[in-house]
Chains A and B, each alone.
Chain A
Amino acid sequence: MTYIESEMIIKIMEKVFLFDLDSTITKEEILPRISKLIDKDKEMEMLTEKTMMGEMSFEESFGLRVDILKDLPIEDVSDIIANISLNEKLVKFLQEHKNNCYIVTGNLDVWINKLMKKIGMENNYFCSKANVKNNKLIGIEQIIKKEDVVSKFDEFCIAIGDGSNDRKLLEKSDIGIAFGGVRNVAPALLEICDYAFFDEDKLYCFLGTLIKE
């Protein structure tokens, strides 16, 4: 296929945008924020940092991080998450192109469902599943493999993320975008991404160009 032909095909294909949640849509990391309330932020920060930098697998670290928070009432956690500050321009993009956008996060369904509803993504997200008994979080039922989401779509996939657990998601997508507007992009992403943005408005405009192409 020539360059021109491949460009033509991209133009007529439907586009799907797959957004990471923490520090991509949100203005801060979600779990460290909650851990502050119970004075576990030091432990949490360390685990989050190790995962971001790729020193610990997401699966291992997420299990440990959920353990720190699992005694908190589910309702309280989901309320805090629903009120976390957001990158409003990116949220605007989600709402303007609802049919083309999905959130892909390692976070737990029972914790993020209120936030998803608040931003209008209640039917457009993929996440990890919690094991809940009698309204209490027992543990993790299933941790999402972010990259598996890409296979669910025949469309042209554009993925946006910031951490090392987004690496495979970005790699498998047709376009991988690193976003360093909230915190530094994980080095593992810089090895594979197609674009990097550090300004939310600029990213918003670029995504707008992609959807129109």
Chain B
Amino acid sequence: MDNKTVIISCAGMGKRFGKKMPKALIEVDGKAMIIRTLELLDEVDDVRVVVGYKANKVIEKVNSYRKDVTFVFNHDYTNNGTGASVSLAMKYAKKFILTIDGDIIIHPDDMKKILNMDTEFVGVCSISTDEPVLTITKNGKVLGFSREKGNFEWTGVTLLDSKRAVPTDGNVYEMVEPLLPLDYKILRLKEIDTMNDYKVAVDWVKNNYK
């Protein structure tokens, strides 16, 4: 795990969810999502949290769990996407970057597996959100991303060689596109965009990720 920089993007406003706080701070079954993610990263030395909207609140919460985190600032978060956050945070990174959005909950067993990976991959899941970015896959490889068709949903979780990843202002999948085809891994995770997603995630966590 010493060869990985883990980047957690928490800069955005989470407009669709409608609470006036960064989505990473929303509590799922009594614990903020960012803390749930950090708890799975205890073994990782280089954890970077990208902050923007209400940065001080996110910093305070992260510091309550561990202090040895690198905070990267995306001040232009209202105009750019998570790809911009990752592009900022991947400077001076280790051999690989593992990207994770602040508004997801990953199955703890799956996180363990991906932390032990040392080849690039794209994390996908079964289609579950209302406006998904889909992945076009064939023979275990992701060939492209699409809004219209695809067999899986893009998760925002990807492991890339930090020297190959191409910076963008847009979405993280735009950084992945020039590197395709890449292997994919099916992950069990919940993304929280809407109140309905939130309820589903709470039930999932309470039910021991089943």
Contact = CB atoms under 8 A, between A and B. Distances in A.
Contacts of B67: 198-199, 202
B75 A192 contact: yes
B70 interface: yes
Contacts of B73: 190, 193-196
Given A192-B75, A194-B73, A213 B92 contact: yes
Q: Main SS of chain B's interface residues? A: mixed
Interface residues of A, number: 19
Contacts of A201: 68
Contact of A191 (B68, B70, B75, B88): B75
Nearest to A192: B75
B111 interface: no
Interface stretch (B55-63, B124-132, B148-156): B55-63
Interface in A1-19: 3, 7
Contacts of A209: 92
Contact of B70 (A187, A195, A213): A195
Interface in B50-85: 55-56, 59, 63, 67-73, 75
B167 interface: yes
B101 to A, nearest CB: 20
A206 B92 contact: yes
A197 B75 contact: no
Going nearest first, the 10 A-B pairs with the smallest beta carbon separation are A196-B71, A199-B68, A199-B67, A202-B68, A198-B67, A209-B92, A3-B167, A190-B55, A198-B63, A194-B73
5 contacts: A194-B88, A195-B72, A198-B59, A198-B63, A202-B70
